[in-house]
């Protein structure tokens, strides 16, 4: 077979990445690349549902409307990428463990698109394509998962070869799943390339890609003919990547997710995976997430001892009592930092007293409250927020410092000592005779926060404060497909002209995120801390008090009376703009509302709980605001 090449097919994002001196591949870099690839390669992501591959495929689909399928495909793929990123340094016990994870990725990609209980291809064979016969799907799947597991354990790990295998077998030959094989193959390949620190492929376009792939014979997996064809595909796939893997640097440290068991039967393959991951990232600090670890024997302890000797800092966390006992008896508790799995608690019967962007706050006892994080929040995210709490406290921001971490069901939580604490929303609702005084206190609190210019040099090592303007500009860009380039360019220009400031911003500064602790106001949710113009903080307040309730038709923050909620918003905005004359104040409020609707419109596009009517109404509001803005 003649050599295949994708010369000249480097995309804009690859050109930009190659021009940067710092080639560290961040989660956002991978997201941008992968979403661009999805739009180039996926019919569903462009509003077309094709069920012609085989008889009966339509019966497996939960959605056949093009626009609905498109919205689901885009959201699902982005969520699957997040799952891939969070598990990029995961170590697997065996091929069955790997299979379970890849099935989770595929289920995420196909959530809401396939009927419940449907994942693998079944029913009639394809009369259109020469895929593996349905009767041999399970046998071929077992071969594929074992083959991919062997690639993960190979020394050295070749991320591009593993990614090529995922694309070739999941999509092109075996065609494992009932639908979304292309998307599942792309996200699995992205996960493997993340693991190896490689750039994602620059696909030449759907037709060009499949015109090359149609040369292959779809021979039985593992056969001589299959190996010959795969070698040709691998050569082609390498040409799409364009650049070899670059060593990644992580000053904050690398987190490896340990497998369920480390014992004589799997220690060699476990060690090979760990060593391959370690070669990808240069760091002095190693973190070992033991949330899945149920058993570690002497051979695993010897590997752990080696790691302690090779890194300046090694920490193991999420350690079960059984594993902790093994480590303690073996003397490892004196050699490294070991954090037990958080204590499990129940919030049954506990009153909800506050609700923020990334969690809800409950009264746990007379003198303690517990913040329960939203689903899928990772331990590293919680620890990062706790570090940020301490930084903000030192910077002069009144924040609560958590006492300890807990588990509430499958969600992480943080315990705080707060005697007689209630959310500011609760106080405003419950004390009508003091509403003006409480809202004025809220305004003063906002101004106090916006008077802080933090010393970023004092941030914990490896942490940065994001610029909120960049976040709003990114949200605006996400709306181009629905609003059109001209409108979005105008919107980005308006946001871009907002004066740059280094003010500390909270990111979700509504009254339900502020606790009244015996007359002192204290913040509890610091997930969105960043820098920028206070306009962006005021826009998120407007989103919580007006935008989201109007879009979602709910009262999750507990205001009860919509009129009271809007009165609080208007008084707050007027108070925060009190240094301006009337014309300037109204102009600033228009800009705040424009930013608010940018946030709400982007949310509406990304969340399936929003009706299509609700999306259209919100996009129309934003469109009219942009066109009228001057």
Q: CA dist 468 to 150, 208, 299, 537, 604, Å?
A: 43, 39, 48, 9, 20
Identify which has the larger pLDDT, 528 or 109: 109
pLDDT at 585: 92
Domains of the chain in start order, with CATH, are 13-243 (1.10.3290.10), 249-341 (3.30.750.24), 351-421 (3.30.200.20), 423-628 (3.90.1200.10)
| Tens-digit pLDDT profile for residues 20-67 | 334 457 888 899 899 999 999 998 888 887 766 666 677 777 777 888
Confidence of residue 302 (pLDDT cuts 50, 70, 90): very high
* H or E segment and range at residue 97: helix 95-109
Q: Contact 258/96 with Cβ under 8 angstroms?
A: no
Confidence of residue 4 (pLDDT cuts 50, 70, 90): very low
pLDDT at 603: 93
Q: Contact 210/234 with Cβ under 8 angstroms?
A: no
Report the distance separating Cα 395 and Cα 305, nearest Å: 39
Strand, coil or helix: 113: coil
Q: Is the pLDDT of residue 8 over 50?
A: no
Comparing CA positions, the residue from 443, 441, 625 lying closest to residue 541 is 443
Q: Which of 123-127, 284-288, 316-320 has the lowest mean pLDDT?
A: 123-127
Confidence of residue 403 (pLDDT cuts 50, 70, 90): confident
CA angle 492, 494, 497 (to 5 degrees): 105
Sign of CA dihedral 172, 177, 183, 185: negative
Q: Is the pLDDT of residue 583 over 50?
A: yes
pLDDT at 576: 95
pLDDT, average across residues 184-205: 94
Q: CA dist 153 to 310, 350, 360, Å?
A: 21, 47, 41
Q: Is the pLDDT of residue 559 over 50?
A: yes
Confidence of residue 13 (pLDDT cuts 50, 70, 90): very low
pLDDT, average across residues 94-121: 93
Report the distance separating Cα 368 and Cα 347, nearest Å: 12
Q: Contact 178/57 with Cβ under 8 angstroms?
A: yes
Q: Which of 63-67, 535-539, 609-613 has the lowest mean pLDDT?
A: 63-67
Q: Contact 116/137 with Cβ under 8 angstroms?
A: no
Q: What is the mean pLDDT of the chain?
A: 87
pLDDT at 250: 56
Report the distance separating Cα 512 and Cα 516, nearest Å: 10
Confidence of residue 171 (pLDDT cuts 50, 70, 90): very high
Backbone angles phi, psi at 561, to 5 degrees: -90, 115
Comparing CA positions, the residue from 92, 118, 99 lying closest to residue 107 is 118
CA angle 39, 243, 246 (to 5 degrees): 110
Token pair in block for residue 49: 């549902």
Q: Is the pLDDT of residue 284 over 90?
A: no
Q: Is the pLDDT of residue 352 over 80?
A: yes
Q: CA dist 3 to 30, 160, 232, 411, Å?
A: 28, 17, 8, 51
Report the distance separating Cα 172 and Cα 399, nearest Å: 53
Whether this prediction's pTM lies above 0.75 is answered by: no
Length of the chain: 630
Q: Which of 78-87, 229-238, 358-367, 429-438 has the lowest mean pLDDT?
A: 358-367
For residue 470, what are the contacts with CB-CB under 8 A and spacing of at least 6?
A: none
Q: Residue 173 gets which letter from DSSP? A: I
Q: Is the pLDDT of residue 9 over 60?
A: no
Report the distance separating Cα 227 and Cα 409, nearest Å: 46
Enumerate long-range contacts of 571-579, CB under 8 Å, 24 or more apart: 571/436, 571/439, 571/443, 572/439, 572/442, 572/443, 572/446, 572/538, 572/541, 573/538, 573/541, 573/542, 575/439, 575/440, 575/443, 576/443, 576/446, 576/447, 576/534, 576/538
Q: Contact 274/89 with Cβ under 8 angstroms?
A: no
Q: Is the pLDDT of residue 459 over 80?
A: no
Alpha helices, H only, 417-464: 424-430, 435-449
pLDDT at 192: 97
| Whole-angstrom Cα Rg for the chain | 26
CA angle 609, 614, 617 (to 5 degrees): 155
Q: Is the pLDDT of residue 357 over 80?
A: no
Q: Which of 52-56, 79-83, 341-345, 551-555 has the lowest mean pLDDT?
A: 52-56
pLDDT at 252: 59
């Amino acid at each position: 077979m003649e050599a295949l090449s994708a010369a000249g097919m480097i995309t804009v994002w690859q050109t930009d990445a190659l021009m940067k001196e710092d080639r560290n591949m961040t989660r956002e870099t991978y997201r941008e690349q992968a979403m661009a690839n999805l739009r180039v390669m996926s019919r569903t992501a462009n509003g077309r549902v094709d069920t012609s591959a085989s008889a009966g495929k339509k019966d497996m689909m939960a959605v056949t409307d093009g626009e609905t399928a498109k919205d689901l495909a885009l959201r699902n793929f982005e969520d699957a990428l997040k799952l891939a990123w969070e598990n990029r340094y995961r170590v697997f016990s065996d091929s069955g463990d790997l299979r379970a994870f890849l099935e989770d990725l595929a289920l995420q990609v196909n959530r809401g698109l396939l009927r419940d209980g449907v994942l693998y291809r079944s029913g009639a064979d394809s009369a259109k394509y020469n895929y593996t016969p349905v009767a041999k799907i399970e046998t071929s799947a077992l071969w594929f998962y074992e083959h991919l597991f062997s690639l993960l354990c190979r020394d050295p790990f070749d991320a591009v070869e593993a990614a090529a295998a995922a694309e070739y077998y999941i999509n092109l030959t075996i065609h494992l799943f009932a639908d979304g094989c292309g998307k599942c193959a792309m996200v699995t390949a992205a996960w493997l390339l993340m693991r190896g620190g490689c750039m994602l492929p620059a696909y030449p376009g759907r037709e060009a890609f499949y015109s090359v792939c149609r040369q292959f014979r779809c021979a039985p997996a593992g056969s001589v003919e299959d190996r010959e064809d795969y070698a040709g595909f691998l050569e082609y796939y390498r040409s799409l990547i364009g650049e070899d893997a670059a060593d990644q640097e992580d000053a904050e440290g690398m987190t490896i997710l340990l497998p369920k068991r480390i014992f004589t039967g799997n220690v060699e393959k476990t060690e090979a995976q760990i060593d391959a991951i370690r070669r990808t990232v240069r760091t002095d600090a190693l973190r070992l997430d033991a949330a899945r670890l149920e058993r570690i024997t002497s051979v695993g302890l010897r590997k752990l001892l080696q790691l302690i000797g090779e890194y300046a800092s090694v920490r193991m966390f999420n350690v079960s009592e059984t594993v902790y006992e093994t480590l303690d008896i073996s003397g490892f508790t004196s050699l490294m930092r070991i954090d037990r799995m958080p204590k499990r608690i129940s919030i049954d019967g506990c009153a909800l007293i506050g609700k923020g962007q990334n969690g809800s706050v409950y009264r746990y006892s007379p003198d303690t409250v517990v913040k329960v994080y939203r689903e899928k929040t990772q331990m590293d995210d919680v620890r990062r927020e706790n570090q940020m709490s301490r930084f903000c406290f030192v910077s002069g921001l009144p924040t609560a410092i958590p006492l300890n971490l807990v588990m509430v069901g499958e969600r992480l939580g943080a315990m705080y000592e707060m005697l007689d604490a209630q959310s500011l929303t609760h106080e405003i609702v419950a004390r009508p005779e003091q509403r003006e005084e409480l809202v004025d206190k809220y305004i003063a609190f906002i101004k106090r926060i916006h008077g802080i210019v933090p010393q970023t040099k004092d941030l914990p090592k490896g942490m940065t404060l994001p610029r909120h303007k960049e976040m709003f500009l990114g949200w605006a860009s996400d709306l181009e497909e629905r609003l059109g380039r001209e409108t979005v360019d105008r919107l980005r220009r308006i946001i871009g002209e907002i004066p740059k400031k280094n003010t500390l911003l909270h990111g979700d500064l509504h009254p339900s995120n502020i606790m009244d602790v015996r007359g002192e106001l204290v913040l509890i949710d610091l997930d969105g801390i960043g820098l920028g113009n206070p306009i962006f903080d005021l826009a998120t307040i407007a989103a919580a008090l007006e935008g989201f309730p109007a879009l979602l038709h709910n009262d999750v923050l507990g205001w009860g009376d919509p009129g009271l909620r809007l009165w609080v918003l208007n008084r707050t905005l007027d108070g925060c703009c009190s240094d301006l004359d009337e014309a300037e104040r109204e102009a600033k409020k228009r800009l705040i509302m424009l930013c608010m609707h940018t946030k709400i419109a982007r949310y509406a596009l990304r969340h399936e709980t929003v009706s299509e009517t609700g999306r259209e109404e919100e996009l129309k509001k934003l469109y009219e605001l942009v066109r009228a803005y001057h």
